[in-house]
Amino acid sequence: MPQPEPQQESEIPTSPEPKPSPARLRPRDAATLIVLDRRGKGGPKVLMGRRNPRLAFMPGQFVFPGGRIEVGDRHMPVAGALPDYAEAALTRQVSRPPHHLGRALALAAIRETYEETGLLLGTREHGAPETAPAGWEAFARHEILPDLEALHLVARAITPPKRVRRFDTRFFAVDRRMVAAEELGRVSPDSEFTELAWVRLDAARKLDLPFITRAILDDLEAQIAVDFAPYRMIPFHYERYGRRERVAL
């Protein structure tokens, strides 16, 4: 992505590992979820987490929960499909997109949000999923099915070259009312997130943020203003020849 980037990393490393040269790293498919609270006065709030300062990627900065696609994300049952506009946008400017790319990305965002914050997003209207792949056991335990229809695609961003991690991240937003359950204990000094905060957009911009997170907040605010209308622009952030670019998907 065209700046200090999205957010991911599933565990705190305990020992250094040999890694490929940052210049040769290829971006990995990943997804992020912006949980949005539009209740009350004073403007919308978003859920942000402070990354553990011991992490190699964006240490100590505030980001939205997210991570890369895992195998189970391709097989988890859902209650509703992504909106058509989102499915179409997610395959644009992607060479030979894999089958059900959008579905896997949306599910990765929901699973990672649970793993990092303890929030389970979805619906109990249909009962427990018939099967629950690895990483999705909590959804079966709480009898929750992810509802992709409730997600809004906000943006896409690719981490610039020469970073210690590189992701091709899609940013989704979902209303806080879709939180069906919560498990405490996911945030601690030894977790990926050491702190969670519900913050209004202006306050969020004053936090220690990666450049891309700040840019996505601007994209989000513009899309909230049109109530996530399907015709809105879906931005794609990336870096080309050392220059940041922002184009429409």
pLDDT at 180: 97
What are the CA-CA distances from residue 82 to residues 85, 102, 171 (Å)? 8, 8, 13
Check if the beta carbon of residue 13 is closer than 8 Å to that of residue 72.
no
- Range of weakest confidence among 113-117, 124-128, 143-147, 172-176: 124-128
Helix (H), strand (E) at residue 88: helix 84-91
Angle between helices 101-117 and 84-91 (to 10 degrees): 100
Q: How far apart are CA 61 and CA 208, in angstroms?
A: 5
Closest residue by Cα to residue 9 from 56, 43, 45: 56
CA distance 14 to 36: 33
**What are the pLDDT digits (tens) for 188-209?**
999 999 999 999 999 999 999 9
**How do 62-63 and 45-51 pair as beta strands?**
antiparallel
For the chain, the average pLDDT equals 89
Q: Give the number of C-alpha atoms closer than 13 A to the C-alpha of residue 194, restricted to the C-beta side.
A: 13
Place of tokens 């992607």: 94
Least confident residue range of 12-21, 108-117, 208-217: 12-21
Average pLDDT over residues 167-190: 96
Single-letter amino acid, residue 115: E
Q: Is the pLDDT confidence value at 163 over 90?
A: no
Reported as a single tens digit per residue, the pLDDT across 213-244 is: 999 999 999 999 999 998 999 999 999 888 99
Neighbours of 215 (CB within 10 A): 21
49 beta partners: 63, 196
Distance from C-alpha of 155 to C-alpha of 169, rounded to nearest angstrom: 8
Average pLDDT for 165-181: 95
Tens-place pLDDT, residues 43-90: 999 999 999 999 988 899 999 999 999 999 999 999 999 999 999 999
